[in-house]
A and B are shown apart, each in its own frame.
Chain A
Amino acid sequence: MTYRIGVLSVQGDFAEHIAAMNDLDEVEAIGVKTKDAIRSCDGLIIPGGESTTIGKLCRRFGLDEAIGALHAAGTPIFGTCAGLILMAKYIVDSDQWRLGYLDAEVKRNAFGRQIDSFETDLPIVGVEGGQARAVFIRGPYVTRVEPNVEVLATYADKIVMVRQGHLLGAAFHPELTDDRRVQRYFLEMVKAAAQ
């Protein structure tokens, strides 16, 4: 059985996500930027990039409807960095457009500007085998979650990875390292949803 994982490819580091997911057996990862392509996926990744740009493009080209259909059907969606921001219901000091699925509030560029970007090792709940390298690039963090949201990772007391049912969000970029454990975690979500 092969699972089709779409990586939203209107803008951002979609190529890294596609390559990372294709490292796994049982996965056919493809870039998607049309409504039909999005609807054909067993799982969707919203990559890092500029959340304002990706959001505007989603709305302008009606991709938000197709993504909304996946969400309504319980298809797993994984957002990294900009993807996490777009999935959140609340964004601190911003009225920018968002998908707004995740019962959480995020703060953009929360660790500072590019000069403050960093990488570190983090333990992640549900990811076995020790800490994972986490690369933060002008990254957000989560300032508040509803009780239905599970916190999977924190850094310096800030929430940086969450899960709410079929939704997974990370403030960092697992696609920029060679470690594929976070991708496997998402694949397990996709497999479970397909059953």
Chain B
Amino acid sequence: MADTSTWRNKVGLAEMLRGGVIMDVTNPEQAKIAEDAGAVSVMALERVPADIRAEGGVARMADLHVIEQIMDCVTIPVMAKARIGHFAEAQVLQAVGVDFIDESEVLTPADEKFHIDKHAFDVPFVCGCTDLAEALRRIGEGAAMIRTKGEAGSGNIVEATRHMRNVITGIKHLTGLRNDELMTEAKNMGAPYDLIKEIAHTGKLPVPNFSAGGIATPADAALMMQLGAESVFVGSGIFKSEDPAARALAIVHATTYFEDPVEVAKACRGLEGKAMSGIDVRTLPDSERLATRGW
């Protein structure tokens, strides 16, 4: 007798991806470069966030041909993005057999009120968050992995650090509360009481917490890992740089040895070209901030 797609299977895959780099790719050639550099997983999509930002329009789930070609050409797990609330896109991605679904603010939201009921799926989900309360709402809905949102396609780490610090500070705050304060805290945070109680006692999230949105250099990856990320997602940072293969290797290197500045320096020296140019997030109007999508 076997039980398939248990909660432990779902969170377990997220745990297997710890200490690694998950790279955005748009075709099989990029997927091979990512795998050869040591990526633990690839995110298959049609356009990297920087291009979505530049070109505008509605960003949807990727073309299934692209996803399937990528699944055929690498042996590492393949993730794909569905729009927030678009459970039919998620159903299609599960039917295709992707290993993880990212219910992602990088795509144009399909529902401004409700996220997907992720417990209803066999495939595990990752969701973005900007603080602990948002992380716990997503875990409550069934996300088996959390990633801080950062500001995708910006090449700017400032939002990623803000969101990671929000989550870590939020956890520390909960561990200092008395039991009789937790229900009021749950009410004020707008997050599930059971998860708040659990974190107050364990001092950590019940699922792995990765970092996304703005990582462009090896030092960015080391920063996020030292702030408490357990792995990093790199979107536009690799394939919008001048030296994707070398940069992919360097970011993997810095993520593995994030606590050793000598190794991070070696990783930085391995680079041949410029990082993606990036944008000052303060110049972005609210309507162009992806992190404000979802709640």
Query: Do A120 and B40 touch (CB < 8 A)?
Result: no
Whole-angstrom CA separation of A10 from B94 in the bound complex: 30
Nearest chain B residue, comparing its CB with the CB of A120: B2
Q: Does A152 contact B (CB under 8 A)?
A: no
For residue B228, give the distance in angstroms from its CB to the closest CB of chain A.
Answer: 13
Question: Considering only CB atoms, which chain B residue lies closest to A96 in the complex?
Answer: B75
State whether B16 touches A50 (Cβ < 8 A). Answer: yes
B207 to chain A, nearest CB (A): 13
B97 touches A113 (CB 8 A): yes
Interface presence of A14 (CB below 8 A):
yes
Tell me whether B4 is interfacial, beta carbon within 8 Å.
yes
Q: Which residues on A sit within 8 Å (CB–CB) of B41?
A: 50
Contact at B76–A115, with CB atoms within 8 Å? no
Chain A residues lying within 8 Å of B257, measured Cβ to Cβ, are 33
Closest A residue to B121 by beta carbon equals A115
- Flag whether B292 is at the interface (Cβ < 8 A): no
Q: List residues of B (1-53) whose CB comes within 8 Å of A's CBs.
A: 1-6, 8-9, 12-13, 15-20, 35, 38-41
- Find out whether the CB atom of B16 lies under 8 angstroms from the CB atom of A94: no
Q: Is A168 an interface residue (CB 8 A)?
A: no
Contact with B along A1-19 (1 / 0, CB 8 A): 0000000011111111000
Question: Which of B13, B20, B75, B252 is A117 in contact with, Cβ under 8 Å?
Answer: B13
CB contact under 8 A between A118 and B40, given known A11-B256, A15-B18, A109-B75: no
Taking the closest CB of chain B, its distance from the CB of A97, in whole angstroms, is 11
Q: Which of A57, A81, A117 sits near B9, CB closer than 8 Å? A: A117
Q: What chain A residues lie within 8 Å of B3 (beta carbons)?
A: 118-120
Docked Cα-Cα span, A70 to B259, in Å, equals: 25
**Chain A nearest CB, measured from B254 CB (Å):** 12
* Most central of B9, B13, B253 by chain A CB within 10 Å: B9
> Does B206 sit at the interface, judged by CB under 8 A?
no
Nearest chain B residue, comparing its CB with the CB of A156: B2
CA gap between A137 and B16 in the complex, in Å: 9
- Minimum CB–CB distance for B205 against chain A, Å: 13
Please state if B38 and A176 are interface contacts (CB–CB under 8 Å).
no
**A114/B256 in contact, CB under 8 A:** no
CB distance from A64 to the nearest CB of B (A): 14
* B80 vs chain A, min Cβ distance (A): 12
Check B256 against A33 for contact (C-beta < 8 Å). Answer: yes
A40-82 vs B, CB cutoff 8 Å, 1 = contact: the mask equals: 0000000011101100110011000000000000000000011
Closest A residue, CB atoms, query B19: A11
**A25 CB-CB contact with B under 8 Å:** no
Q: Does B87 contact A (CB under 8 A)?
A: no
Q: Shortest Cβ distance from B37 into chain A, in angstroms?
A: 8
Q: Flag if A57 contacts B256 (CB, 8 Å).
A: yes
* Contacting pair B19 A115 (CB below 8 A): no
On chain A, the residues within 8 Å of B38 by CB distance are 52-53, 56-57, 60
Q: CB distance B9 to A135 under 8 Å?
A: yes
A138 touches B77 (CB 8 A): yes
Query: Within the assembled complex, what's the spacing in Å between the Cα atoms of A115 and B41?
Result: 16
> When chains A and B are docked, how far (Å) is the Cα of A186 from the Cα of B40?
27
Is B123 an interface position by the 8 A CB rule?
A: yes
Chain A, residue nearest B231 (CB): A11
A19 to chain B, nearest CB (A): 11
Q: Contact at A50–B99, with CB atoms within 8 Å?
A: no
Q: Does B124 lie at the interface of the complex (its beta carbon under 8 Å from any beta carbon of A)?
A: yes
| Docked complex: A96-120 residues within 8 A CB-CB of B | 96, 108-109, 113-120
B68 interface contact, C-beta 8 A: no
C-alpha gap A135/B94 in the complex (Å): 21
Residues of chain B within 8 A of A15, CB atoms compared: 15, 18
With a cutoff of 8 Å between Cβ atoms, the chain A residues found around residue B185 in the complex are none
A13 CB, min distance to chain B CBs, angstroms: 4
Please report the C-alpha to C-alpha distance between residue A56 and residue B3 in the assembled complex, in whole angstroms.
33
A121 CB–B CB distance under 8 Å: yes
For this complex, 26 residue pairs linking A to B, each with C-beta atoms less than 8 Å apart, are A12-B18, A12-B20, A13-B12, A15-B15, A33-B256, A48-B15, A48-B16, A49-B17, A52-B35, A53-B76, A57-B256, A81-B16, A94-B75, A96-B75, A109-B75, A114-B100, A115-B122, A117-B5, A117-B13, A118-B5, A119-B8, A136-B9, A137-B9, A138-B77, A173-B12, A176-B12
In the A-B complex, the 6 residue pairs with the closest CB atoms: A114-B99, A117-B9, A120-B2, A13-B15, A118-B2, A11-B19
Residues of A at under 8 Å CB distance from B?
9-16, 33, 48-50, 52-53, 56-57, 60-61, 81-82, 94, 96, 108-109, 113-121, 135-138, 173, 176
